[in-house]
Structure 1
Amino acid sequence: MLGGGLALALVVLALAVLASLAIGAKSVPLDTVWNTVLHHDPSDGDQTVVTSLRLPRTVVGLLAGAALGLAGTLMQGLTRNPLADPGLLGVNAGASFAVVLAIGVLGVTTFAGYVWFGFAGAALAALLVHLVGSFGGQGATPVKLALAGAAVSAGLMSFTRAVLLSDTKTFDQFRFWEVGSLAGRGLGVAAQAGPFLAVGAVCALLSGRMLNTLGLGDEAARGLGQNPALARVFCSASVVLLCGAATALAGPLGFIGLTVPHAVRAFTGPDHRWTLPYSMVLAPALLLVADVLGRVVARPGEIEVGIVTAVIGAPVFIALVRKSRLAEL
């Protein structure tokens, strides 16, 4: 049953990819899209649109969406908090602060540069959250991690705003990254983030059984032979790899990692061995559909995908949490 549902989810993702390649300010027939893949003709204007503009943003959408879906599922399972999202460990705040410093202090102006600084900032912020959450007895419990993440995020965002308010040039460059977008990112940038995302995805998919055991409580996990502290470190490292690279790649996109795991658990239940692969497939489908909507609702211009995901995700999330039969963590 669940295996057939996953196959259906892959079909939905394939349709979203085709829509992302074919639909925009200039619509491209599906047969042209197929010919671009099978028999590319550089002299064909429509095929050039597909290869130079839409293919890179589709690849970025696939990578960032899959990473955010996995990271959101990991965070909700790790903290046992159904409202947790990839930003809970301070990842988004750390990436934003690092990008601001890169622009304002070092003069970095390319997305290729943002990737490295954003990833480093996300990793350092997550490490700081884990260190703060480890103080006191019982180590880094879910509640302490959530509180530490909120505190670190608030502090980093305060520093970020202070830098932006004092430097209008930095603000002008940063705001295009902060809103979240798939446009303007080349395949080279995706290739830079790809190895981190691949390692993070493999680690996330291998952590399903760990999360199931942690969901029983620390005492039960120890009784089943699992070290809760090491399991949390492993899952947290996966979140950093996934969310750090995705945030650096596409900006701090909201609601993808928060909404999709809830929707998935409505029909898979709380078993993370299924919620993780489902989220990895459906999150990029949602992100690509949101990107396509952003292209068509304001032709010939477009609305950034970060705005569209917020508009779509907020009411969907409210509807999901109000359902009485929504699967619990």
Structure 2
Amino acid sequence: MTTVASAPAAASTASLRRRSGRRRVLWVLVLAVAVAVICVLSVTFGNRTVDASQIIAGLTGDLTTTDAAAVARRVPRTILALLVGASLAVAGAVMQGVTRNPLADPQILGINGGASLAVVTGLAFFGVTSALGYIWLAMLGAALAALFVYTIGSLGRGGASPLKLALAGAATAVAFTSLISAILLPRIDVMSVFRFWQIGGVGGATTQNILLVLPFLAVGMVICVASAAALNALALGDDLATGLGQKVRTARLLSALGAVILCGAATAVAGPIGFVGLIVPHVCRLLVGPDHRWLLPVSALVGAGLLTVADVVGRVIARPQEVEVGVVTALIGAPFFIAIVRRQKMRAL
């Protein structure tokens, strides 16, 4: 009787899984098409709007017109926006999984600030001027900042709770910002180089920079995606994850390593861009659920599209000037952050 009774339930569960799988695949296809459309918009709009013929001329290397030359400059910018957006979104999803903290974000946890401080320190005091040097410094700064915030957030009763990590990260980010200002103010030469970089933007994208940072982003992305199953186990709690055969400490370290590499490399080429890693994972969970095997690739698509759209908006709303993409994401992300905090507070009551 038990076997007969359980057969319809098993069939129903299998049917739900198939429908869920089809829905996830559909979302991936829709998002992939949306990102492709956004890329076209990014190449089309800016200080001047170009038509299809000028886009083709710019892509084929025919730079005889101003519009075609503008297209050629926008292509690396679009590629960098896609890469940085995807990297920050995946890093945010991984951090939220590792810390089980819905407020985790490279900017809020001070990781972007640590990367920025390391780059500015290297430039001001050690004469580092190469793009590759910036990347290595940014990753080192991001790693040290992540370790510092987690250590501070783990002090006291209850260990590293979401609220303590958020507070430690926010305080650390403010401290890093103050230190960066203290380094830059007496050094006009350094300030002129990093004045716009500090805000966060992709306007300085070049093919050379993209090729330099691409291997680091690829390694970080592979580590994060390979950690998806471990992140699913960690979401169940350390005790249950250990019971399922997961090495909790190793899983956390590897996942965090991938996120730090993504944050550091992205910050080195685009500056400290905030809130992408906070917003995107929450939106993607509504689309495909909490399974990190789906959440991470979907977050990459949504993050790439979001940052590219923010860059286009920044180019269009203040023409002929530009608003850096870091400002646009902050305007979008700040209300979202407040909403998440209020939601978590209501749950705690």
* Matches for 1:265-304 after TM superposition, within 5 Å: 265-304=285-324
Q: Does 1:7 align with 2:18?
A: no
Secondary structure in structure 2 of the residue aligned to 1:176: coil
Percent identity, aligned pairs only? 48
How many angstroms does 1:87 deviate by?
3.3
How many angstroms does 1:115 deviate by?
3.2
Secondary structure in structure 2 of the residue aligned to 1:70: helix
Q: Does 1:23 align with 2:42?
A: no
**Residue number in structure 2 paired with 1:49:** 70
Secondary structure in structure 1 of the residue aligned to 2:197: helix
Q: Does 1:250 align with 2:274?
A: no
Larger Cα-atom Rg: 2
Secondary structure in structure 2 of the residue aligned to 1:302: coil
* Matches for 1:137-176 after TM superposition, within 5 Å: 149=169, 153=173, 155-176=175-196
Distance 2:75 2:308 in 1: 12
Secondary structure in structure 2 of the residue aligned to 1:87: coil
Which amino acid letter does the alignment assign opposite residue 293 of structure 1? V
Q: Aligned in 2, Cα 1:142/1:222: closer, same or farther, shift over 3 Å?
A: farther
Q: Could you list the runs of 5+ residues in structure 1 that have no partner in the other structure?
A: 325-329
Which amino acid letter does the alignment assign opposite residue 2 of structure 1? R
Task: Tell whether the 8 Å contact from 1:79 to 1:143 is kept in structure 2 after alignment.
Answer: no
How many angstroms does 1:82 deviate by?
0.6
Secondary structure in structure 2 of the residue aligned to 1:247: helix
Match for residue 104 of structure 1 among 124, 133, 137: 124
Distance 1:144 1:310 in 2: 22
How many angstroms does 1:284 deviate by?
1.1
Match for residue 40 of structure 1 among 53, 61, 75: 61
**Residue number in structure 2 paired with 1:327:** none
Distance 1:313 1:140 in 2: 24
Distance 1:245 1:2 in 2: 29
Distance 2:338 2:177 in 1: 26
Task: Tell whether the 8 Å contact from 2:117 to 2:179 is kept in structure 1 after alignment.
Answer: yes
Q: Could you list the runs of 5+ residues in structure 2 that have no partner in the other structure?
A: 1-22, 345-349
How many angstroms does 1:56 deviate by?
1.2
Distance 2:40 2:342 in 1: 33
Task: Tell whether the 8 Å contact from 1:109 to 1:173 is kept in structure 2 after alignment.
Answer: no
**Residue number in structure 2 paired with 1:126:** 146
Q: Aligned in 2, Cα 1:112/1:57: closer, same or farther, shift over 3 Å?
A: farther
Distance 1:257 1:43 in 2: 40
How many angstroms does 1:254 deviate by?
1.0
Distance 1:321 1:70 in 2: 21
Distance 2:162 2:314 in 1: 36
Q: Does 1:83 align with 2:103?
A: yes
With structure 1 as the length reference, what TM-score do the two structures score?
A: 0.87
Moved more, 151-160 or 308-317: 151-160
With structure 2 as the length reference, what TM-score do the two structures score?
A: 0.82
Match for residue 196 of structure 1 among 216, 230, 237: 216
How many angstroms does 1:112 deviate by?
5.8
**Residue number in structure 2 paired with 1:62:** 82
Q: Aligned in 2, Cα 1:127/1:312: closer, same or farther, shift over 3 Å?
A: closer
Give the root-mean-square deviation of aligned CA atoms.
2.9
Q: Aligned in 2, Cα 1:132/1:309: closer, same or farther, shift over 3 Å?
A: closer
Distance 1:127 1:172 in 2: 30
**1:204-227 CA-partner distances (Å, limit 9, x unpaired):** 112221111101111100100001
